[in-house]
Amino acid sequence: MNKKIYNFSAGPAMLPEAVLKEVKNDFLNWNNIGTSIIEISHRSKEFHKIIVKSKQYLRELLNISDEYAILFCQGGARAQFSAIPMNLLNQFNCADYIDSGYWSYNAMLEAKKYCFPNHITVKKNIDGQTTIIKMKQWPIQSQSDYIHYCPNETIEGIAIYEEPNFHNKVVVGDFSSSLLSRKININKYDLIYASAQKNLGPSGITIVILKKILLKNSYPFTPSILDYKKSFDFDSMFNTPVTFSWYIISLVLKWVKNQGGIDFFENMNYKKSSLLYQTIDNSNFYINTVHPDNRSCMNITFHLRDPNLNHIFLKQSYESGLKFLQGHKVVGGFRASIYNAMPMSGVKKLIEFMKNFEYKFK
Ligand SMILES: *Cc1c(COP(=O)(O)O)cnc(C)c1O
Cβ 150 under 6 angstroms from ligand 1: yes
What digits encode the pLDDT tens for the residues 94-146?
A: 999 999 999 999 999 999 999 999 999 999 999 999 999 999 999 999 999 99
The answer to whether 191 touches 213, Cβ cutoff 8 Å, is no
| Catalytic residue from among 55, 96, 99, 103 | 103
Per CATH, domain 261-361 is 3.90.1150.10: yes
Q: Tell the residue nearest (CA) to atom 4 of ligand 1.
A: 77
> Domain 21-258 carries which CATH code?
3.40.640.10
Q: Where in the chain is the domain with CATH 3.90.1150.10?
A: 261-361
What's the pLDDT at 219?
86
198 is an active site residue: yes
What does the DSSP 8-state code read for residue 206? E
| Catalytic residue from among 96, 99, 145, 174 | 174
Mean pLDDT of the chain: 96
Crossing angle between the packed helical segments 45-62 and 243-259, to the nearest 10 degrees = 40
Torsion from C-alpha of 243, 208, 180, 202, nearest 10 degrees: 30
User: Within 98-227, where are the H helices?
Assistant: 102-111
Q: Tell the residue nearest (CA) to atom 14 of ligand 1.
A: 176
**CA 36 to CA 10: how far, in whole Å?**
29
pLDDT tier for residue 1 given thresholds of 50, 70 and 90: low
Among 158, 167, 172, smallest CA distance to 210 is for 172
Distance 169 CA to ligand 1 centre (A): 24
Residue 124 CB contacts under 8 Å (≥ 6 apart), including other chains: 130, 131, 132, 133
30 is an active site residue: no
CA-to-CA dists, residue 285 to 111, 125, 288, 293, angstroms:
41, 22, 10, 22
**CA 201 to CA 203: how far, in whole Å?**
7
pLDDT at 226 over 80: yes
| Catalytic residue from among 55, 123, 169, 198 | 198
Q: Tell the residue nearest (CA) to atom 10 of ligand 1.
A: 77
H-run or E-run covering 244? helix 243-259
Q: Where in the chain is the domain with CATH 3.40.640.10?
A: 21-258
What digits encode the pLDDT tens for the residues 165-206?
A: 998 899 999 999 999 999 999 999 999 999 999 999 999 999
Nearest-atom number in ligand 1 for the CA of 177 is: 15
Backbone φ, ψ for residue 131 (5° rounding): -130, 145
Cβ 176 under 6 angstroms from ligand 1: yes
Cβ 160 under 6 angstroms from ligand 1: no
246 is an active site residue: no
